Structure 1
Amino acid sequence: MLYFAYGSNMSRAQMRERCPSHECLGSAVLKDYALCFPRSSPVRLCGVAGIIERPGAEVWGVVYRMHDEDIAALDRREGYDPSKPFHENRYNRQTIRVLMDGRSVGCLTYFARPEPGEHVPSAEYLGTIIEGARENGLPPEYQAALKRIATD
């Protein structure tokens, strides 16, 4: 199973901790979506990443090959329970198509369920995203855009 990470799960250290049997396949881009911070995390106590449809925008991230136990661990971490209704999950999983090395690849990813209000990432959380982008060689202009995101 393939998983597209666009937020803090791009961090190699975080993924080693959360999903020890994952395999990193490389970077990819999700076209016509933008990175956003639509909810706050009860664990991190700050705004956390999500994606939203936006024509012409791009979200860069990392594709991982995952085993069932890795996905189950991420589901728990992201607050997704497939047996619960959509509105009770913090994130919901769905399949998307990303471009990886010029070819279209189907991957699972997590969509944050938006909450009312403004949600701002902490400097530490955004730093984890930026570090993951750097470690995985995402385009310099995308890394620069991440560095311009305001934190609290």
Structure 2
Amino acid sequence: MQGPKVSRNDTVDTSRRFSELYFGYASNLSPAAMKGRCPDSLFCGLARLENWKWQINSTQYGNIIPSEGNVVYGSLFFLSPRDEAGLDESEGVPWLYEKRTVEVERVGADGKGTGQRVSTMTYVDVQRTDEGTIMPDYIVWINKAIRDAKPYGLPDEYVQKYVRPYIPPISKEDEDRDLIAVRVMAPRHRGID
């Protein structure tokens, strides 16, 4: 299916500073990566989504699926209308991912819930919920996201249980080298979250 003929960024109402609170759970777990993709975004810490599970699906990118008793950790960001439109476009809304409103619990730097619940938007591929294998270039981005989110409370137990079955760890030196190669050689990154 083809995307839009006109970029949504060309028709965005930018009169409001922020339009949406966003929950990013894959490469958008990284505050640094999000700042590069969405320059107006404001990082607000981590949150967890109960009764959902993180996966790599058949598109070879990150996704979440409803799953009783499981949990997904993600970063919270306020998005400007321009950044939201840009994410919609890069996520392939509505033909790849769909926007969903979910309720999450904010997480402290210790990885534990604060009890504060907020409603937020996230992207979900509801058509391709089957498991797949990760695209090799995407391994670098997910490892960077894990590294960048740890200081804000991303639990090692979560990473080991849900993410590592799909994504092997890499050294910091390999990650830095691979990030440079991915940025130089890769086509525009699709399915960033």
What range is the shorter-chain TM-score in? 0.7 to 0.9
On the 8 A contact 1:33/1:55 being kept in 2, the answer is: yes
Distance (whole Å) between structure 2 residues aligned to residue 115 and residue 37 of structure 1: 10
Q: Which consecutive unaligned segments of at least 5 residues does structure 2 have?
A: 1-19, 107-113, 169-193
Distance (whole Å) between structure 1 residues aligned to residue 28 and residue 160 of structure 2: 19
Find 2:149's aligned residue among 127, 133, 139: 133
| Structure 1 or 2: more strand by fraction | 1
Pairing 1:93–2:109 present: no
Report deviation, 1:132: 3.8
Give the AA of the match of 1:133.
A
Give the AA of the match of 2:56.
F
On the 8 A contact 2:48/2:105 being kept in 1, the answer is: yes
Root-mean-square deviation (Å):
2.1
Q: Rg: which structure is higher?
A: 2
Report deviation, 1:91: 0.5
Q: Which SS does the other structure have where 1:39 is aligned?
A: coil
Give the AA of the match of 2:159.
Q
Q: Which SS does the other structure have where 1:74 is aligned?
A: helix
Aligned length: 139
Q: Percentage identity across aligned positions?
A: 30
Find 2:81's aligned residue among 68, 85, 94: 68
Distance (whole Å) between structure 2 residues aligned to residue 25 and residue 125 of structure 1: 20
Distance (whole Å) between structure 2 residues aligned to residue 39 and residue 11 of structure 1: 23
Distance (whole Å) between structure 2 residues aligned to residue 116 and residue 52 of structure 1: 7
Q: Which SS does the other structure have where 1:80 is aligned?
A: coil
Q: Which residue of 1 aligns with 2:72?
A: 59
Instruction: Give the TM-score normalised by the residue count of structure 1.
Output: 0.80
1:132 to 1:7, Cα distance in 2 relative to 1, 3 A:
farther
Q: Pairwise mapping of residues 16-95 of structure 1 onto structure 2 (< 5 A)?
A: 16-40=35-59, 47-81=60-94, 89-95=95-101
Q: Which residue of 2 aligns with 1:43?
A: none
Pairing 1:120–2:133 present: yes
Instruction: Give the TM-score normalised by the residue count of structure 2.
Output: 0.65
Distance (whole Å) between structure 2 residues aligned to residue 57 and residue 117 of structure 1: 17
Give the AA of the match of 2:42.
E
Report deviation, 1:36: 1.2
Report deviation, 1:38: 1.9
Distance (whole Å) between structure 1 residues aligned to residue 88 and residue 129 of structure 2: 23
Pairing 1:142–2:158 present: yes
Q: Which residue of 1 aligns with 2:24?
A: 5
